[in-house]
């Protein structure tokens, strides 16, 4: 890492003059200029080094620049850089087999996409064609991507200016800390959330609902781990009503929760599930749909009306093969579970006991969120739904000043380091969090 502020200024000017950024009013942007990264750290051109507790967009599961995955991409580039999707390719087949080998026994086919959003798009398409029913149910507290059906399946405010896809119906999932059902414990929350979903299905008409899509563990909308029995109840409702269950594993899959897939911790098997981010840590854009044998059979003689020029791109496929192999060899999934159970979980709950501004710490593996409040009794959020606040702005600035790359959304701070994070690095991050929260007490208004 060598500081080069002059080059940093050139890169910044290039960006501001020519790059159009996502989800932003362009004139207000002041992007951090990143020069490089390694493992759990990134650094800028001024020589500042940051512990990446965002994993960028919760996708760098194996850390930055893992040498074995980088080499696999380089080797594949020397052999075959691209090939049309209608041809067979060794790396595409190997990647599909490695993923299906990790999936439930009844799921043996993979349709590759360019990322998570178009994986969701194609999963919904498969479900609608398979069932010949058009409606799609999804949580209000959710994010599924920025393409037509994916953004309409999304619950958060990014959906509002993009509602052009028809047939989407939202419902409330379980979230005891901010329960929509006046529940007092997890058992009540499960029972009442399932009763609510059953009512939605009844009044929307089971004969019109083709798919139900939920994040196994809700990500951007709050890291919401489903309470015991809930996912199993959803599975039964879908089975009883002929609804395809799609589990979105884009953010929570590939080690993030301390399991290969988040649904591995539950007695649930989906009909379809989608993946992207952690499958190769975002080193090359990729995503996909893992398909049950029953749904795959629908398209044995019927044409599937979907395709992508870069479906199963060789560089992306090679990166998936290398990533899965590395995760197995280095026991990266096991590390994520260990760090969550022994360092992050206890550490974040200790912070919540000592800093009143933290209303709740929740999560598993290396997938955690701190729900920040002005008042613990009223649970008033530190920033409004769909917005930010001076307190959250100061939090982000302070984290960066202390050398921590944060991931925030509305009133939440998501604690999502790479699955490879070490005990020392996790403790370093907790110490920085403690320092940051020590300076935010002035924003707490409760007793």
User: Going by C-beta distance under 8 Å and a sequence separation of 6 or more, which residues neighbour residue 361?
Assistant: 345, 348, 349, 351, 352, 368, 369, 370, 371
305 pLDDT band (50/70/90 cuts)? very high
* Contact by Cβ (8 Å): 395, 406: yes
Asked if residues 406 and 413 have their Cβ atoms less than 8 Å apart, the reply is yes
Angle between helices 230-240 and 186-204 (to 10 degrees): 20
- Name the helix (H) or strand (E) containing 90: helix 90-102
Q: What percent of the chain has pLDDT over 70?
A: 100
Taking residue 437's Cβ as centre, other Cβ atoms within 10 Å add up to: 22
| Mean pLDDT of the 26-52 span | 96
Q: Is 367 helix (H, G, I), strand (E, B) or coil?
A: strand
pLDDT at 1 over 80: no
Q: Identify whether the C-beta of residue 324 lies closer than 8 Å to the C-beta of residue 94.
A: no
Q: At what angle do helices 90-102 and 314-329 cross, to 10 degrees?
A: 40
Structure tokens at 142: 């959710």
Mean pLDDT of 148-157: 96
Give pLDDT tens digits for 81-105.
Answer: 999 999 999 999 999 999 999 999 9
Q: What is the pTM of this model?
A: 0.97
Residues 252-261: what's their mean pLDDT? 98
Residues 318, 80: Cα–Cα separation, whole Å: 11
**pLDDT band, residue 282 (cuts 50/70/90):** very high
Two tokens, residue 242: 């002929």
223 with 176: CB under 8 angstroms?
no
In this prediction, residues 412-439 reach a mean pLDDT of: 98
CA-based nearest residue to 141, from 214, 246, 229: 214
Task: Supply the pLDDT for residue 210.
Answer: 98
Task: Set out the domains of the chain in order of their start, with CATH numbers.
Answer: 5-10+40-59+331-443 (3.90.1150.10), 67-329 (3.40.640.10)
Residue 267 pLDDT grade (very low, low, confident, very high; cuts 50, 70, 90): very high
Mean pLDDT across the chain: 97
pLDDT of residue 193: 98
Q: What are the pLDDT digits (tens) for 386-395?
A: 999 999 999 9
At 188-223, the pLDDT tens digits run 999 999 999 999 999 999 999 999 999 999 999 999
Among candidate residues 286, 251, 294, the one with its CA nearest the CA of residue 270: 294
Please, which pLDDT band fits residue 2 given cuts at 50, 70 and 90? confident
For the chain, how big is the Rg over CA atoms in Å? 22
Nearest to 44 by CA among 73, 84, 4, 99: 4
pLDDT at 447 over 90: no
């Amino acid at each position: 890492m060598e500081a080069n502020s002059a080059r940093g200024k050139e890169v910044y000017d290039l960006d501001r003059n020519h790059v159009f950024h996502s989800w932003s009013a362009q004139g207000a942007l002041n992007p951090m200029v990143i020069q490089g990264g390694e493992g759990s750290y990134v650094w800028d051109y001024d020589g500042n080094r940051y512990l990446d507790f965002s994993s960028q967009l919760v996708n760098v599961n194996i850390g930055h620049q893992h040498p074995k995955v980088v080499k696999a991409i380089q080797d594949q580039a020397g052999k075959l850089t691209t090939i049309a999707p209608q041809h067979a390719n060794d790396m595409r087949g190997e990647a599909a087999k490695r993923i299906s080998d990790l999936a439930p026994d009844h799921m043996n086919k993979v349709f590759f996409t360019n990322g998570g959003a178009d994986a969701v798009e194609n999963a919904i398409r498969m479900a609608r064609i398979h069932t010949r029913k058009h409606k799609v149910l999804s949580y209000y507290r959710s994010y599924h991507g920025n393409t037509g059906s994916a953004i309409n399946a999304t619950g958060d405010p990014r959906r509002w200016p993009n509602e052009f896809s028809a047939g989407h119906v939202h419902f409330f999932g379980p979230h005891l800390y901010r329960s929509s059902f006046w529940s007092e414990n997890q058992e009540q929350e499960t029972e009442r959330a399932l009763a609510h979903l059953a009512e939605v299905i009844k009044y929307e008409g089971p004969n019109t609902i083709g798919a139900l899509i939920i994040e196994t563990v809700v990500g951007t909308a709050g890291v919401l781990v489903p309470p015991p029995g809930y996912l199993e109840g959803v599975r039964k409702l879908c089975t009883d009503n002929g609804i395809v269950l799609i589990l979105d594993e884009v953010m929570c899959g590939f080690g993030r929760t301390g399991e290969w897939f988040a649904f591995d911790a539950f007695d649930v098997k989906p009909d379809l599930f989608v993946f992207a981010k952690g499958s190769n840590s975002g080193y090359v854009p990729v995503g996909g749909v893992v398909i049950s044998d029953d749904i795959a059979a629908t398209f044995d003689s019927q044409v599937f009306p979907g395709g992508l020029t870069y479906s199963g791109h060789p560089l992306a496929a090679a990166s998936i093969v290398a990533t899965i192999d590395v995760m197995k060899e280095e026991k990266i999934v096991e590390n994520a579970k260990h760090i969550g159970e022994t360092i992050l979980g206890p550490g974040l709950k200790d912070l919540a006991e000592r800093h009143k501004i933290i209303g709740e710490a929740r999560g598993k593996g290396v997938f955690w969120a701190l729900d920040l409040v002005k008042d613990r009794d009223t649970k008033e959020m530190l920033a409004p739904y769909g917005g930010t606040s001076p307190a959250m702005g100061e939090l982000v600035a302070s984290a960066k000043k202390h050398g921590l790359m944060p991931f925030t959304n509305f009133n939440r701070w998501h604690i999502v380091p790479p699955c490879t994070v070490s005990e020392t690095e996790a403790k370093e991050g907790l110490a920085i969090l403690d320092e940051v929260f020590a300076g935010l007490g002035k924003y707490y208004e409760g007793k």
